[in-house]
Amino acid sequence: MALTSSDKNNLFSPIQLGELTLANRIIMAPLTRNRADEGNVPQDMNVDYYRQRASAGLIISEGSQISATGVGYPRTPGIHSAAQINGWQQVTDAVHDEGGRIFIQLWHTGRISHSSLQPGGVLPVAPSALKAAGQAMTYDGLQDFETPHALALEELPALVADYATAAQNAKAAGFDGVEIHAANGYLLDQFLRDGSNRREDGYGGNIAKRMRLLLEVVEAAIAVWGSHCVGVRLSPENSFNDMEDSQPQQTFNAVAQKLSDYPLAYLHVLEGDMVTGERRVDYQALRSCFTGLYMANNGYDLDGGNSAIGQEYADMVAFGKLFIANPDLPERFAKNWPLNTPDQTTFYGGDEKGYTDYPKYSAK
């Protein structure tokens, strides 16, 4: 169905991402659900889940590891094997058959992993040998994070090449683009923030050096995809996964400004701290540092999303939990229909319950 819009842009207004026309600005956020099959391969219920939500202006898939060493959780899909590419192809075909658009989020968890999840039982990698506080989710239950292996300079080109290969695999799987996950305490975020990056070489120290790896990954992805098919996700003050930065405003203003040099599809920012609920960073100031399309995320509802777009604070708004529980979220928003309540006990792992069994709205 065609969603209505006023003369002023709102959540229901179409928007152009490069050559892609999105039917609306209601974006499905990347959502880890831990429901891949053996070998971290997307399976039939993943196809159903994404097909049900194809009315989003754009779906951003759950984080998908770029290599076997990027794994940080059980049953999260990858994009580095032939079986995974084939599994994702079934997903993208289903979304496209429904008229939807879908990007894949390229993910490396870095130190937020465990040796039991790594090939050969080696230690996870990170910018510096700093152990994160907390525990890893493994196939044997929760286990304390380990002190990671600090990546040597000579190891970084292969890491960037893994991102490039994953971007190529995403194209082979039929995605419309890729989002580079540089948020929420995972590997690229670990390089960006000074609480986790204590390097003294060309990838550590000032922010120009700390963002170097992210920029190399961005350039590698753009080389595969061309203009406006690559997005980047940041989380300037999210303390999830034991993260901090001494100057988050200055750090991420600088990152946003530098990312303006590239023909990105968008900059996707998780605003505030998911752990504490605080918002100390001035996100309008950060947004003003980026000249491209800005996607806001975290705690938005229908009114907040419309307000953000109408006031030109954001160009798109990503919704997470609301999309988990409401596969028809755009239509519910458009018609002011009541929303299903998400069941948090089924967010991570399990079967179709709490995954594909949320009903679309039906007036009875």
DSSP character string of 282-337: -HHHHHHT--S-EEEESS--HHHHHHHHHTTS-SEEEESHHHHH-TTHHHHHHHT-
Pairing of strands 125-126, 102-107: unpaired
Domain count, the chain: 1
Query: How many CB atoms are closer than 10 A to CB 52?
Result: 20
pLDDT, tens digit, for every residue of 69-85?
999 999 999 999 999 99
Whole-number Å distance between alpha carbons of 83 and 40? 9
At 102, which CATH number? 3.20.20.70
Q: Would 351 be classed as within a structural domain?
A: no
Angle value at C-alpha 273, between 270 and 311, nearest 5 degrees: 50
pLDDT band of residue 3 (cuts 50, 70, 90) is very low
pLDDT tops 70 at residue 277: yes
State mean pLDDT over 4-12. Answer: 72
State mean pLDDT over 94-111. Answer: 98
Q: What is the pLDDT of residue 168?
A: 98
Are 84 and 39 spatial neighbours (Cβ–Cβ below 8 Å)? yes
Q: What is the pLDDT of residue 227?
A: 81
| Residue 317, phi then psi, degrees to nearest 5 | -130, 130
Whole-number Å distance between alpha carbons of 331 and 33? 23
Q: Would 181 be classed as within a structural domain?
A: yes
Does pTM top 0.85 for this prediction? yes
pLDDT, tens digit, for every residue of 221-230?
999 999 899 9
Q: Would 146 be classed as within a structural domain?
A: yes
pLDDT tops 70 at residue 4: no
Q: Of 163, 186, 283, 294, which is the active-site residue?
A: 186
Q: Would 362 be classed as within a structural domain?
A: no
pLDDT, tens digit, for every residue of 13-60?
999 999 999 999 999 999 999 999 999 999 999 999 999 999 999 999
Q: What is the pLDDT of residue 364?
A: 65
User: Is 186 an annotated catalytic residue?
Assistant: yes
State mean pLDDT over 87-92. Answer: 98
Q: What is the pLDDT of residue 7?
A: 54
Q: What is the mean pLDDT of the chain?
A: 96
Q: Would 293 be classed as within a structural domain?
A: yes
Q: Which residue segment(s) compose the domain that 48 sits in?
A: 15-346
pLDDT band of residue 363 (cuts 50, 70, 90) is confident
pLDDT band of residue 185 (cuts 50, 70, 90) is very high
Q: What is the pLDDT of residue 2?
A: 39
pLDDT tops 60 at residue 327: yes
State mean pLDDT over 277-303. Answer: 97
Neighbouring C-alpha atoms within 13 Å toward the C-beta of 331? 14
Neighbouring C-alpha atoms within 13 Å toward the C-beta of 107? 26
Q: Would 254 be classed as within a structural domain?
A: yes
Q: Would 10 be classed as within a structural domain?
A: no
pLDDT tops 50 at residue 322: yes
User: Closest by alpha carbon to 168, among 178, 159, 158?
Assistant: 178
State mean pLDDT over 165-169. Answer: 98
Q: Would 191 be classed as within a structural domain?
A: yes
